Structure 1
Amino acid sequence: MRSLRLLFLTIAPLCAAATFTSETIFDWRTPSTPQISPDGRRVVYTLETADRFADAFYSNLWMVSIDGKDHRPLTSGKWKDSLPRWSPDGGEKLAYVSTRAGKPQIFVRWMDTGAEAKITDLENAPSSLSWSPDGGTLAFLTRVAAKPGWQITMPKAPEGATWAEAPVVETRLKWRADGIGGIGQRPLGFSHLFVVPVTGGAPRQITEGDFDHGGEPGWMPDGKSIVLHAARRADADTTLYGEDIWRFPLDGGKPAQLTKVDGTETNPVVSPDGRYIAFTGFADKGFSSHNTNLYVMNADGSGLRQLARELDRNVLAPRWEEGSRGLLAIVEDSGRSHLYRVPLDGPAAALTKGNGRYATAYAASESFSVSKAGQVAVSYSSPNEPKDIVTFAIGGAIKRLTAANGGLMAGRSIGKVEEIRWKSFDGQAMQGWLIYPPGFDASKKYPLILDIHGGPHAMYGVEFNHQMQIFAGRGFVVFYPNPRGSTGYGEEFGNVIHGNYPGDDYKDLMTGVDAVIAKGFIDPKKLCVTGGSGGGLLTAWTVTQTGRFAAAVSQYPVTNWITQTGSSDIGLLMMRWMKAAPWENPQQYIARSPVFFAHKVTTPTMVLTGEEDWRTPIGQSEEFYFALKARKIDSVLVRVPKEPHGIRGAFPSHRVAKVEHILGWMEKYTKSLVSGKLLYEKL
């Protein structure tokens, strides 16, 4: 009888609806960057998929008609396509970037015949692609190697000799960037503007100098000049901010600086009639967080003014209406992101509503597009809906054009998502969300994962979160809050932690955990905490302040602000947060560094990081791990090879491994096991 009962216990779970597992990472499909044709009839977008055999991510172009009836791939292969851009002549051609020829190059496709041509042979990847008004030229940015700042003369190697790789000499402060200047990709160089005929030929470099240029090239309607943002100043290498809007003549004339605000002005967009230039940015107030505001000026730089001043929120990715009377933009607010219309002469008004996010998600953002007649194509996600492409006419109903993960979602049980609000230690109103395990029973006790976002000036929200659904599928309640310092709640809320990070944000997190426990279904002996980047810092800080958690996983954290400042690709920002350089006020850095409080840690802690992370370099993880191990705290260091910050690189198996290491560590110390074997049971 006993054996029969065991048989039924084995079979029963097979009858239940499937949940999300780490293996579904290989099956996940991500549509993005929708581009609507000028006539508003078609949308081209990129679709990223994973190949579990090659252990690689690929992306191809798909096209769907505006009524959703004609939906088909434009490209298909084991490469990466990106940056699709319609030609202005009604969409007769499509330009895009592809790795099909090896290195990323620009391709042009003639839509009537399907014929394609590779029109560049670049050493470095092109970016920020845009068409000239007459459709005859493409503008793009690409990195150009910097001239050596220091050289020596070496003796000539003997004929047939094989000498070691030469030393690399750096003379810049900003000599690397995470995910760009990684191992094997030096020197970083500078980003410059080029133009190339659509029919092919040698690209012509327009900008010069040891300066970086950015934004999508904005053509003036006469096709004679392009606007970009750039930090073209002598102290650009040692200045935190400093981008201005510039206009660059294509005939070799002198560049014109259009803005001179003490702060940063970026991503200019030219109005269809050529009278105005809009851009995003802020005046530097000396804080670590500023709202990204929307500005407009005359094409010559005069008449600068801020739009949508009533919005104490980030205003992102502006796009002009065809009539040049206003712009569309994304506004982030309390975990949601919506499309707004911003007129030139009045307050902004929301075009979308509801419990979702358009164009943005945590740690990700993309542009949307608008046809000449005002038809919009944009990505959208909600707590129960993975990201897809939707379209609507301004003032009209929203239509979904894709169901990228429809097959994966069908018949699968997902965790219910619920908003939670509470008051922090000082009465400050706080917001977060809970994901319940599928089949949740409020009469039972569940283990809890506190998942802390990075940034710290970022925002968790109401998009579908695949990784957290995997956590919930393994039997955990997941709590993901927005502590003070998060964006989406106003500039003052974001700057409360300026010079005080970590600090009161930790208290927000703990009072949030208390509020969740008060609901009655959490086992207070089975609390876990994790987070990445700034969330990794707060995870490490948490275990130095309390022993209430059964297990912690600190992902790619900051643990020593002094060494972080000197080794990170954003060291200048570290000094802004700390209000001083480490040699000026080392105690300020020490007081906020978890490694200096490691003697207080009792929580079993995993430290997980990418080996090619230049944002929070691997030394940050190694220092904390060393301190824990030296004190005989149960701990492990997980090093993920060839991965930058966030472990967001090219290997699907690494994303799976990341999830399994996190869950395996937590399951070991909470003894919460839905399926499989404890990964760390013998440690």
Structure 2
Amino acid sequence: MVRQMADGQADQGLRRMSPRNAGARRSPMAAPAAAAPAQATQRRTMQGDDLLRLVWIADPQISPDGSRVAFTRVAVDPATDGYRTSLWLVETTRDAPRTARALTFGAGDSQPRWSPDGARLAFVRSSAPKEPGQLFVLPMTGGDAMPVCDLAKGVSEPAWSPDGTRIAFLSGTQPTDDPKQEKPKNEPARVVTQPVFRENGEGFKDFEHLPQVWVVAAAGGTPRRLTRGPYAVHDARWSRDGRSILFLCDRRPEPWFGRDESVIYAVSPDLAEPTDGPRLETVVHIEGYLGAFTEHADGRIAAIGYPTPEPARTYYLPRLLLTDGPWPRTTARDLSAGCQDDIGGAISSDQHPPRGGGRTPLAFRDDGQAVRVALSRHGAAMLASFEAAGGAATMLTPADRDLIAGTASADGRRWALTLGSPTRPGDLYLFDAGDGSLRPLHAPNEALFAEVALGEVEMFWTPSFDGQRVQGWLVTPPDFDPQQRYPMVLEIHGGPHTAYGWGFFHEFHTLAAAGYVVLYTNPRGSTSYGSDFANVIQYRYPGDDAKDLMAVVDEILKRGFVDQGRLGVTGGSGGGLLTNWLITQTDRFAAAVTQRCVADWASMYYSTDFAMFTPFWFRKPPFEDPAEYQDLSPVALASRITTPLMVIHSEEDWRTPIAQGEAMFRALKQQHKPVVMVRFPGESHELSRSGAPSRRVQNQKHIRTWFDRWLMGKPAPEYDAG
């Protein structure tokens, strides 16, 4: 059950809302309420290994006529301790059963894409977890999927030509690649010339095999490469007239230390030889970044992006941009001017699909006079509509949900959307923009959630230390009794420019099931509250965001059901930074778990997989002003720490490299303070979201056991020093 406090009541402080209260809203698509305490005894509580039973809906693709939805079904594969991805189909007609059926039975099928007539489905198939995916086409009238091409580095992002005769895709394959060539037993030395040479989740960057645009006949044949050069291409798709393939890339020779930038280019699909620039046409270029885009039949382009003017900001609010006419020779205007929502914005969750992905919802209305797009506002992700003539956005889906991915039918009326909530990880819905109806199509986890009693989730607003309103959520144990006193865990999101909200967190529910009240909130720096709220922490991170966190903790303590002597804190990435920082500022937490943290900003500057520190995060580099970095580095204040600390870090984390966690561990060990480090081999920064299933379960177990040790008084001999 989800309860929330209406905005008009926010300044009255924190108080518990019941579903009967006038301030509580129920969405017509609300998930089934959790059982009341009397019923909770009839159902078990959620456990860490329930993650192994979860099924995720990824990359929903609605057919051109809107009658069917193909999607990637993601499930845990116990045999490989990985994930199986297969293609499934569900009908959208009202009299169709709410059951999905399998289209393919491979373990690595993904990226379904409908042909313009809806008769075929292109997709990418990988025969083994480490093997590159290849392009296949499946006839929807029956028969086996047919291979289209086989390239050494595989393919991604297939896109049909408007006439259905050709397919464009991306591949990093080079003509000299020999797929049969064996790898040397010992890798040779790497010569590094770029300042960023590793990428989280990918390892060392292969600058010789960056993705480029290719095209091949849909019936099969020899594929042709259309672009080349020392830059990566993204999001290739055909122009509406079929004469060009549009794509995104940043072709600057030295992009590392500057602002974000990308351009929409066009290339002819008929080139005999690949081009590195002379035969590319600029479609949309702004002084800034462009992301997801779509083209109307009249040649206008709608895109999500943001200009990057002076002065530098840590966060540029994503905008909905619309060109004033057919490309080329067109300019883009901000269709979302005056709107402080994050266009294309997403909400954090540890249960978004770990494989398969999905597209940010973006499409024109059929008449071209409106653009529908995802946005985030106050911890929710929604589908909204912007009129081309201007004006405020119209929200199309409920404001208490997490819109994960979606696509529109050819006429822009019907949408296949995956929507999550605090009590469900993500179900498939059909949204009809004509009548505004939202109808469930497929809920793959119904059986699991029928077994489980979840704790109640409450949304609230409260004033912070200086009166700034801050939004938060509270999860209570399934058998919660407000007359009892519970330990509480504060969860802190990373980013810092992201947001908690109306998404599902398995970790939060397993902690609540173990008897903890779980608090999560969006302090200053979070997204979905406008540009000023996000940017106020520039050059002060950590700073007032940490004060927001403690102010919300204090408000919850006023309710009387939390034991102030049994407070825990945890967070990952930027949340790990703030966890580290808080325990240098206060001894009020009886235990802390810092995950994939930042401890030393100077070290982070020199080793992370991005280089945009100055002038965005810091005014100068650390070799010019080391004090600026040290003043905001928790490890420099490690002598203040008295809170028992668990450090969790992945050994192949290139976003916040493991030396960050090692610094906290070593600093506390040298002082003989209670600290333990948990290291995950073979995992990246994404451990808790898409790591190996068994390790994700282990990760949650370590977090819970550490808090049990210090907040519940349960023995944990595995953490005792030898």
Above 0.5 in TM-score?
A: yes
Selected match of 1:284 from 294, 308, 326: 308
| 1:154 corresponding residue in structure 2 | none
1:335 aligns with 2:379: yes
Mapped to 2, the partners of 1:547 and 1:654 lie a distance apart of 31
| 1:406 corresponding residue in structure 2 | 446
Alignment deviations for residues 391-434 of structure 1 (CA, whole Å, 9 cap, x no partner):
02113321101111100011321010001221111111101000
How does 1:166-565 map onto structure 2 within 5 Å? 166-182=188-204, 186=206, 189-215=209-235, 217-252=236-271, 254-271=279-296, 273-285=297-309, 286-297=312-323, 298=325, 299-316=327-344, 317=360, 318-360=362-404, 366-372=405-411, 374-394=413-433, 395-565=435-605
Distance 1:532 1:193, change over 3 A: same
Q: Which amino acid aligns with 1:278?
A: A
Distance 1:280 1:463, change over 3 A: same
Mapped to 2, the partners of 1:385 and 1:672 lie a distance apart of 32
Mapped to 1, the partners of 2:201 and 2:568 lie a distance apart of 30
Quote how far apart the aligned CAs of 1:574 are.
6.4
Quote how far apart the aligned CAs of 1:531 are.
0.5
- The structure showing larger relative contact order (alpha-carbon pairs under 8 Å, at least 6 residues apart) is 2
Cα RMSD between the aligned structures?
Answer: 2.3
1:95 aligns with 2:134: no
| 1:8 corresponding residue in structure 2 | none
Mapped to 2, the partners of 1:245 and 1:373 lie a distance apart of 22
Identity %: 34
Q: Which amino acid aligns with 1:135?
A: G
Q: Matched residue of 2:710: which SS?
A: helix
Distance 1:14 1:320, change over 3 A: closer
Mapped to 2, the partners of 1:54 and 1:449 lie a distance apart of 33
Alpha-carbon contact 2:317-2:342 (below 8 Å) kept: yes
Alignment deviations for residues 484-517 of structure 1 (CA, whole Å, 9 cap, x no partner):
0000000000000011101110000000110111
Alignment deviations for residues 242-291 of structure 1 (CA, whole Å, 9 cap, x no partner):
212212222337112234422212223111x1420111111113101011
| 1:663 corresponding residue in structure 2 | 704
Alpha-carbon contact 1:340-1:348 (below 8 Å) kept: no
Q: Which amino acid aligns with 1:307?
A: L
Quote how far apart the aligned CAs of 1:35 are.
0.9
How does 1:557-596 map onto structure 2 within 5 Å? 557-573=597-613, 576-596=616-636
Quote how far apart the aligned CAs of 1:72 are.
3.6
Q: Which amino acid aligns with 1:56?
A: G
Mapped to 2, the partners of 1:433 and 1:50 lie a distance apart of 29
Mapped to 2, the partners of 1:23 and 1:571 lie a distance apart of 38
Alpha-carbon contact 2:265-2:281 (below 8 Å) kept: yes
Alpha-carbon contact 1:196-1:202 (below 8 Å) kept: yes
Q: Which amino acid aligns with 2:369?
A: R
Quote how far apart the aligned CAs of 1:207 are.
1.3
Q: Which amino acid aligns with 2:122?
A: A
Q: Matched residue of 1:265: which SS?
A: strand
Mapped to 2, the partners of 1:177 and 1:681 lie a distance apart of 32
Mapped to 2, the partners of 1:679 and 1:468 lie a distance apart of 25
Mapped to 2, the partners of 1:293 and 1:554 lie a distance apart of 34
Mapped to 1, the partners of 2:148 and 2:185 lie a distance apart of 37
Alpha-carbon contact 1:219-1:270 (below 8 Å) kept: no
Alignment deviations for residues 161-208 of structure 1 (CA, whole Å, 9 cap, x no partner):
x974311111112322111235xx745742211112111223211112
Distance 1:644 1:369, change over 3 A: farther
Q: Which amino acid aligns with 1:225?
A: S
Alpha-carbon contact 1:85-1:94 (below 8 Å) kept: yes
Mapped to 2, the partners of 1:344 and 1:146 lie a distance apart of 45
Selected match of 1:654 from 695, 702, 705: 695
1:608 aligns with 2:648: yes
Distance 1:276 1:530, change over 3 A: same
Distance 1:13 1:399, change over 3 A: closer
Quote how far apart the aligned CAs of 1:70 are.
6.4
| 1:128 corresponding residue in structure 2 | 157
Q: Which moved more, 1:222-231 or 1:498-507?
A: 222-231
Alignment deviations for residues 204-259 of structure 1 (CA, whole Å, 9 cap, x no partner):
111121112222x2311221212222111232344341212212222337112234
Q: Matched residue of 1:544: which SS?
A: helix
Q: Which moved more, 1:427-436 or 1:372-381?
A: 372-381
Quote how far apart the aligned CAs of 1:353 are.
4.2
Alignment deviations for residues 101-150 of structure 1 (CA, whole Å, 9 cap, x no partner):
64211211000013211222223343332111111111122335799xxx
| 2:61 corresponding residue in structure 1 | 35
Mapped to 2, the partners of 1:187 and 1:309 lie a distance apart of 38
Mapped to 2, the partners of 1:606 and 1:58 lie a distance apart of 32
Mapped to 1, the partners of 2:208 and 2:653 lie a distance apart of 15
Q: Matched residue of 2:630: which SS?
A: helix
Q: What TM-score, normalized to structure 2?
A: 0.85
Alpha-carbon contact 1:181-1:188 (below 8 Å) kept: no
Quote how far apart the aligned CAs of 1:76 are.
4.8
Q: Matched residue of 1:427: which SS?
A: coil
Distance 1:663 1:561, change over 3 A: same
Quote how far apart the aligned CAs of 1:680 are.
4.6
Alignment deviations for residues 459-488 of structure 1 (CA, whole Å, 9 cap, x no partner):
101122222111111110000000000000
Selected match of 2:166 from 137, 141, 164: 137
The unaligned stretches of length 5 or more in structure 1 are 1-11, 148-161, 361-365
Mapped to 1, the partners of 2:399 and 2:510 lie a distance apart of 21
Q: Which amino acid aligns with 1:169?
A: V
Q: Which amino acid aligns with 1:174?
A: V
The unaligned stretches of length 5 or more in structure 2 are 1-37, 177-183, 272-277, 345-359
Quote how far apart the aligned CAs of 1:533 are.
0.6
Q: Which moved more, 1:583-592 or 1:486-495?
A: 583-592
Mapped to 2, the partners of 1:530 and 1:42 lie a distance apart of 42
Q: Matched residue of 1:624: which SS?
A: helix
Distance 1:426 1:373, change over 3 A: closer
Mapped to 2, the partners of 1:542 and 1:451 lie a distance apart of 12
Alpha-carbon contact 2:257-2:611 (below 8 Å) kept: no
Quote how far apart the aligned CAs of 1:678 are.
4.1
Q: Which moved more, 1:559-568 or 1:304-313?
A: 304-313
Distance 1:314 1:80, change over 3 A: same
Q: Matched residue of 2:121: which SS?
A: strand
Quote how far apart the aligned CAs of 1:672 are.
5.9
| 1:158 corresponding residue in structure 2 | none
Q: Which amino acid aligns with 2:408?
A: S
Distance 1:354 1:265, change over 3 A: closer
Mapped to 1, the partners of 2:257 and 2:56 lie a distance apart of 38
Alpha-carbon contact 2:62-2:408 (below 8 Å) kept: yes
Alpha-carbon contact 1:176-1:188 (below 8 Å) kept: no
Alpha-carbon contact 2:73-2:87 (below 8 Å) kept: yes
